[in-house]
Chains A and B, each alone.
Chain A
Amino acid sequence: DTEVTQTPKHLVMGMTNKKSLKCEQHMGHRAMYWYKQKAKKPPELMFVYSYEKLSINESVPSRFSPECPNSSLLNLHLHALQPEDSALYLCASSQGVRGQGYEQYFGPGTRLTVT
């Protein structure tokens, strides 16, 4: 099974709201990722967790706060977002972060709209 699940599928939030995106995988993967994707563009890496520790933060604004409660779960906490943050947010996981097993498996994404 190569499934990564994400909830919710759609989210509309105001600029003063606090919300969270959730991601789950049961493949035993030790690396998990958050990407942001704007329309007609490739995914842009936001965060990487390796063995439940944050290993990469691609200079993402602090209004995005990741959390990895355990090896199967990844959250993205959202607060005081801007309209330009509206995008498809993708979660991915991989067995490792180098070599064989580095291929990433993506979830279906959360379509976020900030009003």
Chain B
Amino acid sequence: AQSVTQPDIHITVSEGASLELRCNYSYGATPYLFWYVQSPGQGLQLLLKYFSGDTLVQGIKGFEAEFKRSQSSFNLRKPSVHWSDAAEYFCAVASRGQNFVFGPGTRLSVLP
């Protein structure tokens, strides 16, 4: 069965600092990988996705993620965090014909 872990429940960074959110998955084949962001009381917004090809994918809002097959990871990065990036971030995994499996989420706080 597929599973997704996000080892960090809560991360706090200062505005302008760099950010990396970790995501590890367990699946036999290369899955489809996604990062979503959710502001309080809102729906989920797709930041980026990976299906195949270049392992470094660019997304919206200045985010990028790198797929590393050897580490079963798909970490999200941003070079300079803005106060508006404070939110909950979910990594998700899917495979052909299978449903999304969401990670538990990482809450990002941004200090002024």
Binding site for B on A (CB under 8 A): 2, 4, 6, 40-43, 45, 48, 56, 88, 90, 92, 97-100, 102-109, 111
Interface residues on B, range: 20 to 34
Is the CB–CB distance between A108 and B43 below 8 Å? yes
Determine whether the beta carbon of B99 is less than 8 Å from that of A99. no
Q: A111 to B41: give the CA distance in the assembly, Å.
A: 8
Q: Do most interface residues of chain A lie in helix, strand or loop, or is the interface mixed?
A: loop
Residues of B within 8 A of A (CB): 32, 34, 36, 41-46, 49, 51, 90, 94, 96-97, 99-100, 102-105
Is the beta-carbon distance between A104 and B97 smaller than 8 angstroms? no
Q: Would you give 12 A-B contacts (Cβ < 8 Å), ordered by A? A: A4-B43, A43-B44, A56-B99, A98-B97, A100-B51, A103-B32, A103-B34, A103-B49, A105-B46, A106-B44, A106-B46, A109-B43
Q: Nearest chain B CB to A76's CB is how many angstroms away?
A: 15
A108 CA / B32 CA spacing, docked (Å) = 23
